C-alpha cells in the first residue's frame, strides 16, 4: 500500500510540471539565442536571451558567475555578455555583426555589398563559468588590513614624542611616486589590469557551446520589434550546450569515457633509403576532450593537469614529451608539430619491443601527482590501441588518426 501511494504521488507530481520544463526533461545546460537578419542594415543582430540548468559548482569549487561569448564563423569579431551570478541567468543583450563586403572598382572607387547568408556560416555561442577564488579573497583582505594598519601607524606615531618614525614612513611613498613618474615603474594600471584579466581567465571553465547555422530556412519569423519591414528572425531558440570537440572524420566512433579522450595520429615515415634510423614511428597529439562530469572530477583533485607521452623500449623510457600544465577544461587543442614523440627503427624488427605510453596527470600545489588515466599503444595491445599501431605499420607514410580513451 505504501509503494502504491508513493507511485501515485510521483505520477501526479509529474503531471503538474509546467510546459517550459516539459521541453527540457533532461535538464541539460541550455542557452537561449535569437538572430535577426537585417537586409537594410546589412547586419546580423544576435541577442543572448539567457541560460538554464547550469552547474552551480565544479568539483568542490562554487561558480561565481556566467559569461556567454558569441562569434560569427568565418569572421574575426566576437562579443561577450556581462557576467551574471545566477543559475538561470537572463541577459537579453544584443550584439551586431556587420555583413558588409567592400569590393574595389575602377578609379579607386569601392562598392559595399552584403555578404550572402548560407549554410556555410555559423553563429557559435560558448558559455563559461567563472569560479570563486577564496584564497585570493583572503589575501586581499589581509592586504587591506595591512594598508589600514599602515595608514593608522603615522597618526599614532605623531602622538608620541619621537615623531621621526612617522616622518620617514611618510617620506618613502613620496620618493616612490617620484621614482615611478620618471621611470614608469611600480603601480602601473595597465600591468594591474593585465594581471586581473589573467586571473579572470584562469578562473574560467567552459560549460559548453552550441552552433547555429545561418541557413535561410531558419529565418522564418518576423521579429517582435522590427526596425525594417524586411527584417527576418529565427525566433527564440533554446539550444543544448555540448562539449567542444573535433569535427574530423571518424570522430563519431569515439565513445564517452569517464576520464577523457585524446585525438592522436600515428605515422610511420616512408623512405626509400634502408639506412639506420629511417622509417621512424611518430606519435602526435591533436586534441583533448572531456565531458562536463569528468571536468568536475578533475576540479576535485585541486591541481593542474598535463599530458605526458613516452616511448618505452624493453621497459626503459627512451624519449618523452610533456605538455604545459593547464586547468581542467572540456576541450583543448595542441600543436601536433610540437606535441610529438618519435620511436626510432634502426633495424628490421626493432619496433616489436617498442610501445607508446600516454598519461593524463594532475599535479597540485604541494607537488603531489595523481594519474587520472593512461593507455598504451603498441604491438601487443588489444582494442583500438592495437588497431592504430597495426594500421600505421601497414600503411607507411599515412597518418592514422583516432580518438583514444584513458583507462
Write out pLDDT tens, residues 67-101: 999 998 888 889 999 999 888 899 999 999 988 76
Calpha distance 197→202 (Å, rounded): 9
The helix, strand and coil proportions of the chain, stated in percent and rounded to the nearest 5, come to 30, 40, 35
Coil, strand, or helix at residue 165? helix
Only one residue has cell 537594410, namely: 40
Whole-Å CA distances, 61 to 134, 138, 205, 208, 298: 9, 15, 11, 18, 11
Average pLDDT score over residue span 316-336 = 86
Query: Per residue in 104-153, pLDDT tens?
Result: 666 666 666 667 777 678 898 999 888 886 543 444 455 556 566 665 65
Calpha distance 105→24 (Å, rounded): 52
Model confidence, pTM:
0.52
Calpha distance 29→54 (Å, rounded): 5
Coil, strand, or helix at residue 324? coil
Q: What is the mean pLDDT of the chain?
A: 75
Q: Residue 65 burial (CB < 10 Å; 0-12/13-18/19+)?
A: middle
Query: Per residue in 62-76, pLDDT tens?
Result: 888 999 999 988 888
Only one residue has cell 616489436, namely: 352
Calpha distance 226→26 (Å, rounded): 34
Contact 262, 361 (CB under 8 A): no
Per mean pLDDT, which of 13-27, 169-183, 226-240 is the most reliable?
226-240
Amino acid at each position: 500500500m505504501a509503494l502504491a501511494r508513493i507511485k501515485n504521488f510521483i505520477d501526479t507530481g509529474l503531471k503538474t510540471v509546467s510546459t517550459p520544463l516539459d521541453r527540457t526533461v533532461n535538464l541539460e545546460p541550455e542557452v537561449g539565442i535569437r538572430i535577426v537578419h537585417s537586409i537594410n542594415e546589412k547586419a546580423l543582430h544576435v541577442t543572448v536571451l539567457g541560460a538554464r540548468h547550469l552547474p552551480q559548482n565544479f568539483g568542490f569549487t562554487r561558480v561565481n558567475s556566467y559569461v556567454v561569448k558569441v562569434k560569427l564563423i568565418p569572421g574575426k569579431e566576437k562579443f561577450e555578455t556581462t557576467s551574471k551570478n545566477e543559475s538561470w541567468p537572463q541577459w537579453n543583450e544584443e550584439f551586431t555583426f556587420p555583413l558588409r563586403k567592400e569590393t574595389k572598382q575602377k578609379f579607386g572607387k569601392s562598392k559595399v555589398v552584403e555578404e550572402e547568408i548560407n549554410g556555410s556560416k555559423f553563429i557559435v555561442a560558448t558559455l563559461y563559468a567563472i569560479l570563486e577564488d577564496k584564497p585570493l579573497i583572503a589575501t586581499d583582505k589581509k592586504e587591506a588590513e595591512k594598508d589600514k594598519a599602515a595608514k593608522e601607524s603615522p597618526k599614532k606615531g605623531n602622538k608620541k614624542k619621537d615623531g621621526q618614525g612617522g616622518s620617514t614612513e611618510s617620506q618613502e611613498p613620496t620618493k616612490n611616486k617620484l621614482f615611478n613618474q620618471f621611470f614608469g615603474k611600480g603601480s602601473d594600471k595597465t600591468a594591474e589590469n593585465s594581471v586581473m584579466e589573467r586571473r579572470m581567465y584562469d578562473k574560467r571553465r567552459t560549460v559548453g557551446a552550441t552552433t547555429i547555422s545561418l541557413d535561410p530556412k531558419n529565418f522564418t519569423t518576423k521579429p517582435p520589434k522590427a526596425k525594417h519591414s524586411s527584417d527576418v528572425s529565427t525566433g527564440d531558440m533554446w539550444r543544448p550546450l555540448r562539449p567542444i570537440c573535433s569535427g574530423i572524420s571518424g570522430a563519431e566512433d569515439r565513445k564517452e569515457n569517464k576520464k577523457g579522450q585524446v585525438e592522436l595520429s600515428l605515422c610511420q615515415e616512408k623512405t626509400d633509403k634502408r639506412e639506420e634510423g629511417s622509417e621512424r614511428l611518430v606519435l602526435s597529439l591533436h586534441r583533448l576532450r572531456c565531458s562536463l562530469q569528468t571536468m568536475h572530477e578533475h576540479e576535485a583533485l585541486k591541481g593542474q593537469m598535463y599530458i605526458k607521452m613516452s616511448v618505452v623500449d624493453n621497459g626503459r623510457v627512451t624519449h618523452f614529451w610533456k605538455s604545459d600544465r593547464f586547468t581542467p577544461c572540456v576541450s583543448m587543442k595542441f600543436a601536433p608539430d610540437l606535441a610529438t614523440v618519435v620511436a626510432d627503427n634502426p633495424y628490421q624488427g626493432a619496433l616489436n619491443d617498442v610501445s607508446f605510453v600516454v598519461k593524463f596527470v594532475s599535479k597540485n600545489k604541494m607537488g603531489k601527482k595523481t594519474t587520472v588515466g593512461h593507455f598504451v599503444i603498441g604491438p601487443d595491445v588489444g582494442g583500438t590501441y592495437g588497431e592504430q599501431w597495426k594500421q600505421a605499420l601497414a600503411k607507411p607514410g599515412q597518418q592514422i588518426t583516432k580518438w583514444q580513451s584513458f583507462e
